[in-house]
């Protein structure tokens, strides 16, 4: 699609500064952009690149100074949102998949498929599976007995959804992810571990997205719950009986131990971890690598391991960094005090 900067500005409810007639034919990052490209300022760190970009136009918010760019500026309230709209107009079209069931898919008798559903090659849908309208199940996906996937979903190739899982509407699951694997539960008899049956399920709300090669275990009984709007990155571990509250986000390689309850709007940085049987309340932020070992009250930003409020963690870190100096101060004190004691003795 070709569109002028001025025309695009209308579509994203923005205002053009500079040459509104410049023709845009693609999108690109600020460093790679060519003259026909639209670009945007993703992060203040890249502001110095604005003056140098070869892009035809840039989408920016209030924080870009007037005149900072040589190209046209499309000024908007929410640059991420505006760029998303623009990218869907100007970018390469996404891959589309036609409705229908590939002949190599193995669909059990009685499986329910909504209208517009696409089932890719080599999929396996076991008895009792139900797939909602317009949902795309890509190649090689396995969906176990009695599981359901809501409408308008997108399940990428080679996902495994074990039996009795309930997945909401508009859910995206990336390749390699396993939903409903057994929780890690054993009891001991002498030296040996005996398996505790994992008879519960996984229930996933609407508008959830789960990255690649993540693992979400089914409950021992009852359910492991991922509420509406949760976003989970690659290689994340969610253990059995965990509940993740609505609109919580978890960056890559984070892990939540069994039976922990996480509130709404919580944020986990990459490689963060949480011990089992804890309560993490609403709006908590756990910094990257944070290791949570006890309950966290709402609206708290924690970091470190064991995780503590981030001001405290930063203060302790600063103290630790000055340990050599502290040691030197103590050594100096010892010398001065010894000198004084000697005087006193002689005196």
Binders of a copy of itself among residues 119 to 148 (CB under 8 A) are 120-122, 124, 126, 138-140, 142, 144-145
SS3 state of residue 310 = helix
Comparing CB distances to a copy of itself, the nearer of 5 and 76 is 76
* Distance separating alpha carbons of residues 269 and 305, to the nearest angstrom: 13
* Distance separating alpha carbons of residues 161 and 217, to the nearest angstrom: 10
Quickly tell me which residue has 């949480």 as its tokens: 274
Distances in Å between the Cα of 17 and the Cα atoms of 32, 60, 181, 239, 296 are 22, 11, 54, 51, 47
Work out the end-to-end distance of the chain between its first and last CA atoms, rounded to an integer number of angstroms: 95
Binders of a copy of itself among residues 29 to 68 (CB under 8 A) are 29, 31-32, 42-43, 45
Question: What residues are paired with 308 via a beta bridge?
Answer: 303
99 lies in the binding site for a copy of itself (CB under 8 A): no
Comparing CB distances to a copy of itself, the nearer of 51 and 106 is 106
Where is 331: in which H helix or E strand?
helix 323-346
Binding mask 284-313 for a copy of itself (x = CB under 8 A): ----xx-x-------------xx-------
Comparing CB distances to a copy of itself, the nearer of 163 and 281 is 163
Binders of a copy of itself among residues 166 to 205 (CB under 8 A) are 172, 174-178, 181-182, 184, 186-187, 189, 191-197, 199
Cβ-in-10-Å burial (0-12, 13-18, 19+) of 1 comes to: exposed
* Distance separating alpha carbons of residues 39 and 47, to the nearest angstrom: 12
92 lies in the binding site for a copy of itself (CB under 8 A): yes
- Identify whether the C-beta of residue 18 lies closer than 8 Å to the C-beta of residue 12: no
Catalytic hit among 7, 174, 240, 319: 240
**Sole window of 12-20, 49-57, 63-71, 265-273 interacting with a copy of itself (rule: CB under 8 A):** 265-273
Quickly tell me which residue has 């508009």 as its tokens: 170
* Distance separating alpha carbons of residues 256 and 247, to the nearest angstrom: 16
Minimum gap (Å) between residue 67 Cβ and a copy of itself: 25
When binding is defined by CB under 8 A, the residue of 233, 268, 285, 286 that contacts a copy of itself is 233
- Is 319 considered catalytic here? no
Binders of a copy of itself among residues 315 to 334 (CB under 8 A) are 315-317, 319-324, 326-327, 329-330, 333-334
Comparing CB distances to a copy of itself, the nearer of 22 and 55 is 55
Active site residues: 240
């Amino acid at each position: 699609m070709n569109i002028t900067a001025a025309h695009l500005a209308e579509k994203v409810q923005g205002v053009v500064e500079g040459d509104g007639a410049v023709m845009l034919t693609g999108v690109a990052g600020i460093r790679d952009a060519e003259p026909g490209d639209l670009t945007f300022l993703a992060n203040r760190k890249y502001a110095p690149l604005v003056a140098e970009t070869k892009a035809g136009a840039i989408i920016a918010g209030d924080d870009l100074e007037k005149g900072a760019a040589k190209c046209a500026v499309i000024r908007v309230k929410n640059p991420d949102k505006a760029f998303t709209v623009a990218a869907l107009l100007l970018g390469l079209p996404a891959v589309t998949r036609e409705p229908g069931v590939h002949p190599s898919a193995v669909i059990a008798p009685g499986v329910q498929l909504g209208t517009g559903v696409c089932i890719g090659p080599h999929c396996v849908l076991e008895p009792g599976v139900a797939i909602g309208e317009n949902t795309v199940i890509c190649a090689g996906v396995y969906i176990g007995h009695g599981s359901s996937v809501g409408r308008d979903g997108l399940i990428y190739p080679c996902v495994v959804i074990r039996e009795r899982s309930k997945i909401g509407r508009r859910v995206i699951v990336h390749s390699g992810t396993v939903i409903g694997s057994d929780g890690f539960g054993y009891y001991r008899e002498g030296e040996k571990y005996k398996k505790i049956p994992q008879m519960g399920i996984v229930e996933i709300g609407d508008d959830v997205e789960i990255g690649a090669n993540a693992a979400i275990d089914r409950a021992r009984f009852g359910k492991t719950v991922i509420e509406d709007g949760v976003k989970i990155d690659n290689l994340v571990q969610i253990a059995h009986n965990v509940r993740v509250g609505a609109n919580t986000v978890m960056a890559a390689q984070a892990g939540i131990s069994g039976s922990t309850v996480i509130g709404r709007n919580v944020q986990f940085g990459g490689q963060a971890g949480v011990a089992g049987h804890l309560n993490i309340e609403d709006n908590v932020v756990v910094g990257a690598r944070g290791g949570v070992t006890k309950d966290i009250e709402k609206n708290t930003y924690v970091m470190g391991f064991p995780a503590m409020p981030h001001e405290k963690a930063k203060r302790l870190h600063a103290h630790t960094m000055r340990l050599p100096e502290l040691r030197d101060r103590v050594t100096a004190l010892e010398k001065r005090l010894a000198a004084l004691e000697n005087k006193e003795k002689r005196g």
